[in-house]
Every structure is written in structure tokens, then in C-alpha cells.
Structure 1
Amino acid sequence: MSAPTNGPVTDRYTVISADCHAGADLLDYRPYLAKEHHEAFDAWAATYVNPYEDLLADTADRNWNSARRLAELEEDGIVAEVVFPNTIPPFFPSAALMAPAPTAEEFERRWAGLRAHNRWLADFCAAAPGRRAGVFQILLNDVAEAVKEIRWASRAGLRGGLLLPGTPPGSGLPELYSSTYDPIWAVCEELGVPVNHHAGSASPPLGEEPAARAVFMVETTWFSHRALWHLIFGGAFRRHPGLKLVLTEQGSGWIPGVLDMLDYYHGRLSAAAKRSKRSTAESKFGAGLAESMGKGPSDVWRDNCFVGASFMRPHEVPLRARIGVDKIMWGSDYPHDEGTYPYSREGLRCAYAGVPREEVAAMVGGNAARVYGFDLDALDALAAKAGPTVAELAEPLTRPPADATSPVFARGASVRVW
């Protein structure tokens, strides 16, 4: 498939970060809560201990200071962003969106907290018209309530779509392949709402020992990948062929191999179910699979799926044709430490130097504009002043910035040896 263009031909790229994060300062969520929750919120906020150093530092206001954010992103060459959550929603013990809550009352409060974030986010995006696509939050415990929130968010202009929580072992929730969630897929298809699955929300709790933290780092992206094969094998895309799934900040180099594996199992089990004249384990495993799934996994990827390839690494870029140049959306992960700010231009050079211009244009902005509904004509005017030049990104990066913290610059993360 040919790569989409990225606006009119200029000497600069229009860069849209498909992975940024924001949220309100803790007490600023209060006005967005229904009044009946104010007293409980005051008690919760008075005792809440924030576990995240970046939300306690003097740079924490990057999450909610609209003017600072716009200025820093433009300085970094970025003119628009997809905004995932970052700060703690009211009534949550941490940023994790896992439920069930300990009690029905606590669950009700957590829903109120997520709604408060979503309403704050709508105002935050409205403060920069056309430049932010907000990703709203839901819980999976009550599908009917989730559907109501999706409809509200669509009317409120949160074009970034929904953030799909994971269902890790021990959550007590039906797995994502369950038809329980069909009303969610149906309303997303109806309204053109992208379903985003971001790394970090699908891992089971592992504790705080050093080994546990290392295991989390190794496994967290795998647990996030699971959403892909759950929805494919569960038939969500057969029943809802207009559904769009975006997998963000999970890397992208894994995709060709996983699709090969999924195609293999799909073909193997479907064939066993069709040809076997006697009952075998594989014929039982494959019974009904082809009918429930419809298209094969690679076809589903081609027609329905995208990747938010945050700070794409050089070793992933040669795989872009197998992933799909029209599927890849670069992201800076601002304002996280592992993001590329303030060295996004260098990060883009590190990844894309030597790549054809039209392909770079698609991956750094054109694809995100298509998936999330950004107006490229309007953004091109901003990029004419703030965007990185074509010549700049064509120049290979020979040495990483000395104080850069993004993994894109890490030794061993690149085919280049610094």
C-alpha cells in the first residue's frame, strides 16, 4: 500500500506526536466532579501520596500548563499531539486502571474520577483547537456505562479515542476476546472512535522487589500485545469491520514476527478443524475459529490496525514495509523522561535519515492525521515555521545528545554504535 502524503510539498515536515501524556494537577480535578463526590474527594486528596517523581518535580506542570506545553512542543518541532492520560485520576490508588474496586461504592467513585479526567481533558484540548486529540478513559466492569461515556466523549470532541484497559491475570474481568465487550466495539465502529491500547495497563501486579521491576520491564509490552490477538481471535473485527485498533508505546519491530505466528496458528487450527475425520486436540481447538474470526490475522492488521511507534528505533525502520508504512505513527512520549523531548529532531534523524521523504512524512504526521482526524492543511501552516526541515532529518545522527534520556539514543538500541 502506498504511503499517504503529509500535506502540500514544503521543505519541512508536519510532525504529529501520536504519543504524548497529560492530566490535571490533583486538586484541579475537583470542579469536574459531581458535587456529591466533593467531600469524599477532599478526604482522598488530603491523604493521597503521589508515587511518581515526575509529578512532584518542578516540571510537573508540563502535564497541564497549556501554554508551556505548546511552546515546548513547537520548539521540539511538533505541531500537534495525541494526548494519553498521565496524572492520577481521583479515587485511584495509583495510575493503574484496574478494577474491580474493593467495594461497589469505591467502583462508583473511580468511575466518577475517570469522568472528571475526561471532562478536564475536553477543556484542555479545546484550549488548543485542532492541535490535540484527547484519549479518554473507561473501565470495563460496566459495559453499559462505558458505552455511555464513549458517546459523551465523541460529542465532546475527544478525537483521540478511548484508552482500552487491559485484563491481566487476576483482574476478575472477562478476557478481551469475550463477546461481553461487543457493545463497546459496536459504538466505537459507529462513531469512528479509535480504540487505543497503551503499554503498561495490562500487566499483573508483581511487587516492588528489584527482580519484580526487571520482570515488569521485560514483560509489560508482551502483556500489552495480547490485545491484538485477543481481538483478532475473538472475532471483534469480523463483527465490526470498521473498528480501528492502535497499539501505542509497545515498539513496532515485533509486529511482523507476531503476525507470522498468528497466521500460522490460524491456518493450522482452521485446517485441522476442516479436514479431521476424527476428534483430535487441534480439531477441537480450531472448531469454529475460521467462522468466528473471518479474515486472517495479517489481513486484519492491514485493514484495521495501527501502531503508535513511540521514539521509533533505527533497527525497527527497515521493517517498515512489513509493518506497513501507512500503519506507523511516530510519537515523542512528551513529557516523560523516556521521551525524546527536547531532542525530538535528533531522535527523528536517528531513526529516519536515508528513508524516502514521502515515507517519513507519512510516519511522522500523515498517518496520525488520518487516524485521529487532524486537519493537515491547518497544521502545515504551523509546521512551515516549527517543523524540522527535510534536509535536517536526512542528515544521519553521528553522536547522541550527551544528556538525552530516551531509549532511542541508548547504546544497543540502535544499529549504530555511538
Structure 2
Amino acid sequence: MISADCHAGADLLDYRPYLAKEHHDEFDAWAATYVNPYQDLLADTADRNWNSERRLAELERDGIVAEVVFPNTIPPFFPSASLTAPAPTAREFAQRWAGLRAHNRWLADFCAAAPGRRAGVFQILLNDVDEAVREIHRAVGAGLGGGLLLPGTPPGSGLPELYSTAYDPIWAACAELGVPVNHHAGSASPPLGDEPAARAVFMVETTWFSHRALWHLVFGGAFRRHPGLRLVLTEQGSGWIPGVLDMLDYYHGRLVAAGTKASTAEAKFGAGLGASMGKRPSQVWHENCWVGASFMRPHEVPLRDRIGIDKIMWGSDYPHDEGTHPYSREGLRIAYAGLPREEVAAMVGGNAARVYGFDLERLAPLAAKVGPTVAELAEPLGEPPADATSPAFAKGGSVRVW
């Protein structure tokens, strides 16, 4: 089992040694007054984010031998976790760049503490493309093989949209270095305010805002110009993919056809898009894209052939409360029991090993000790664990929608 969606980060003050010295005084002043907004980062379990030995032990008890590591804790100079932090002002950019570089340096050391078992996802900002490219090369050179965490460009951010050719140097660098571009749920939503309803609206809209990266890069022609580019959409569900690909294929075909027609309104609308977009979106998906399907739900499983069995990477979302830990085996049983062994093996580890460069032969001895057996995962789950907190075990979660 390889989790394609885990999270980690340093304790706040532990980022200081990873900051350039010129930022130490301003970091001390910032940290002295900073109030962490997240209860889980103040609890006794917060050290799961940075305590390497505890983390390895808990993941092994859960059957997991390797992980893709997204950020979780607060980097220096950020008001909240970097995945959900609002777009910075011009004044804040320099400080936040310093904070993300500190996180990337810390993450390289954290991954090195468990050789072959962690693929660290490094962070950039999009406001300075040249600086982003330099950080990509530096992070990969430091051993971070998890690839780039792509920030969102939510409405009001002031940044070019993701379809812009302004980001071509970023796509080119990732394709050249052989690391994926990851887009995680929660990283592209606009600020919604503090009213209670905002939380409900965020839950409804956040995955949609994250899905947008797919059609932005497809229609923007990023994969045509950079055929080696790989995109991973993580913790966004997977059941939406077949329908969205059908929709994107429809618009792609309509725009291509419009370009060959007479001077009509639609022909003008589609002018030049046929050649610039490249292949059909569904073809791009099957050649260049994957989904980090954190605790895939049973109703999504019948769609696996349409999504692509070789495109699905399971994740536990450790150490989040909504993750499947410590019941990842049970989470897999509720979704995957009864499926062919080779399909389960691909979705729970083989695909992630291929995308993120894990060595399955190196991991095999540990998997033989701590991983679930084929027979165990083939056994349907009856009642879910009473104290499970993951939506994977929500009432009705075992109902299959065909």
C-alpha cells in the first residue's frame, strides 16, 4: 500500500533554521504573535506531521509502506495552511517565497529520514515564473520526487489563469525533470468570508474549483506543447471524471468543427482553438493525467474502467481526521472487496509507484511484514469501525451506484 495523499510539515518554530538568515528577525517577530487557527495542529497528535518515527510506526500499523507528502502545517509568514491561504499582496510575496523555500528545505530532510518511502511535494508561488522554475530545479535536486504543488488562481487573485502560456516555463521544467504537477483540493477556492454558510458553500464548490486545472491546461494546449507533462488531481474524488471528460470532449469537438465552417458566430468564437488545444481531452487524460483518489468510495468503483484503472491512486489522507487512518484496511475492503487482485494492486500502490518513482522491489520486504494480504482485502466489510471518522465509512457509503 502506497498512500498518494498524505500531509506533513514542521512545527512552527522548527522552520527557523531552514529560513535564510536575513529573515530570522522578521520570523521571530511574526512567530511571537502568531495564533494557529487549526485545532488539529494544537492537539497532542499534531506531531504526526513532523515526528518521523511516530509517523512511520502508525503508517506501518495501517499497512502503508510509502507515502506522497503534501504540505499541512503553517509555513513561515502564512496566515493559514498554504493550501488554503488567500492570495498574498505584493508586499507579502517576498516573505511567503521565503516561507515556502523553508518548507521545501525541511521537507527534503524529512524525506531523507525515510529513504525510498516518502515522495515530497514541493511548493512554489506563481507570481514570478522565473523564480518558480529556479525553485523547481533546486527542489528536485534536493531529492523531492513528489513533484510540484500547483497553486490555484482563484477569482480575485490577480494572477493569469492557468491556461495562460505565461506558465509554460513551469510546465517545461516539470516535464524535463520528470516530476508531476499536483493540484490538491482546497488550493483554488476564492475567499468566501466568515459566515456559517461559507463552510457549506466551500464544501460544495472547493472540488469544482480544483477540477478547473484540468480543463485550463487541456484547452490551453499545455499538454500539446509539453507532451511529457503529467498532471495529478488529488483529494477531489474520482466519480466526476467520466462525465467531465465527456463534456470536455463535446466542447473540444464543437470548437474544432467550428473552425472549419463558414464565417459564423461560432466559427469566430472557435477560431484558432482547434490547432492550439491539441488532442481530445479524454485522450489527454489517458496519456497525461492521474487522480489521487483519497479513500475511493464504493459508488465510484464501478467507474474505474472509464476513469482508467492505471490512472487511480488510493490515498489515506493521513494524518487528517477525515482520513482512513487507522482503518485503511477496512476502507479498502469497503470499496475494493471482490475486485481482481491485479486491479487492487494497481490502485493501492502500483500506479503511485510508477508516477512518483517508488521502487516496489525495495518496498516489498516491508510490505510482506506490514501490508494487508490479498485475501484480507478481498473480504467484504460488514459493519464499519464504530470510531472511524473518515467519510469512507459514512452511512450509505457502501451503496454502489451503477
* 1:135 equivalent in structure 2: 121
SS state at 2:299 partner = coil
Partner of 1:71: 57
Q: Provide the rounded CA distance (Å) in 1 between the counterparts of 2:194 and 2:86.
A: 20
Q: Is the 8 A contact 1:221 1:250 kept in 2?
A: yes
Q: Deviation of residue 300 (structure 1)?
A: 0.2
Could you tell me which residue of structure 2 aligns to residue 152 of structure 1? 138
Per chain length, whose mean CA-contact separation is higher, i.e. which structure has more relative contact order (CA < 8 Å, sep 6+)? Answer: 1
Alpha-carbon displacement from aligned partner over 1:324-362 (angstroms, at most 9, x marks no partner): 000000000000000000000000001100110000000
TM-score normalised by length of structure 2: 0.98
Partner Cα separation in structure 1 for residue 126 and residue 100 of structure 2 = 12
Q: Find 1:279's aligned residue among 244, 255, 264.
A: 264
Match of 1:101 among 69, 84, 88: 88
Residue 324 (structure 1) aligned to one of 308, 315, 328: 308
Q: TM (normalized to structure 1)?
A: 0.94
Q: Deviations over 1:183-223 (max 9, x none)?
A: 00001111001000000010000012111110000000000
Shift in CA distance, 28/301, structure 1 to aligned 2, threshold 3 Å: same
- Pairwise CA distance, 1:414: 3.2
Deviations 1:144-176 (A, max 9, x none): 000000000111110000100000000000000
1:115-134 pair list within 5 angstroms:
115-134=101-120
Q: 2:44 aligns to what SS in structure 1? A: coil
Opposite residue 109 of structure 2, the aligned amino acid is: D
Please list, as runs of the form range in 1=range in 2, the aligned pairs for 1:231-380 lying within 5 A after superposition: 231-275=217-261, 277-280=262-265, 282-380=266-364
After superposition, the C-alpha distances for 1:59-82 in whole angstroms (9 at most, x for unaligned) are: 000000000000000000000000
Q: Displacement of 1:416 after TM fit?
A: 6.5
Contact 2:122–2:146 (CA under 8 A) maintained in structure 1: yes
1:16 corresponds to 2:21: no
Which structure 2 residue ranges, 5 or more long, are not aligned?
A: none
- CA gap of 1:414–1:200, structure 2 versus 1, over 3 A, is same
Aligned amino acid, residue 278 of structure 1: S
List aligned pairs for 1:398-413, cutoff 5 A.
398-413=382-397
Distance 1:75 1:185 in 2: 38
Q: CA deviation at 1:101?
A: 2.7
Aligned equivalents of 2:89, 2:289: Cα separation in 1: 35
* Paired AA for residue 388 in structure 1: P
- Asked if the contact 1:353–1:395 (Cα under 8 Å) also holds between the matched residues in 2, the reply is yes
Aligned-partner SS, 1:90: coil
Give how far 1:99 is off: 6.5
- Give 2:375's match in structure 1, choosing from 369, 391, 413: 391
SS in 2 for 1:250: coil
For 2:355 and 2:165, how far apart are their aligned partners in 1?
A: 25
CA contact (8 A) 2:71 2:82 kept: no
- Structural RMSD (CA): 1.1
Amino acid at match of 2:200: A
- Asked whether the 8 Å contact 1:136–1:160 carries over to 2, the reply is yes
1:30 matched residue in structure 2 = 16
Cα offset for 1:278? Answer: 2.1
- Counterpart of 2:214 (choices 228, 231, 234) is 228
Q: Which amino acid aligns with 1:155?
A: G
The amino acid that maps onto 2:362 is A
Amino acid at match of 2:118: R
* Whole-Å separation in 2 of the counterparts to 1:416 and 1:365: 23
Paired-residue identity, %:
85
CA contact (8 A) 1:197 1:247 kept: yes
1:412 is displaced (CA, Å) by 3.1
Asked if structure 1 preserves the Cα contact closer than 8 Å seen for 2:72 and 2:82, the reply is no
* Local SS of the residue matching 1:59: helix
Maintained 8 Å contact 1:100/1:141: no
CA contact 1:252–1:307 (8 Å) conserved in 2: yes
Higher mean displacement: 20-29 or 202-211: 202-211
In structure 1, what is the Cα distance between the partners aligned to 2:338 and 2:291?
A: 22
Provide the C-alpha distance between the structure 1 equivalents of 2:214 and 2:104, rounded to a whole number of angstroms. 25
In the TM superposition, structure 1's runs of 4+ consecutive aligned residues that sit over 4 Å from their partners are 97-100
| Pairs within 5 Å for 1:195-234 | 195-234=181-220
Aligned residues: 400
Letter in 2 for 1:239: R
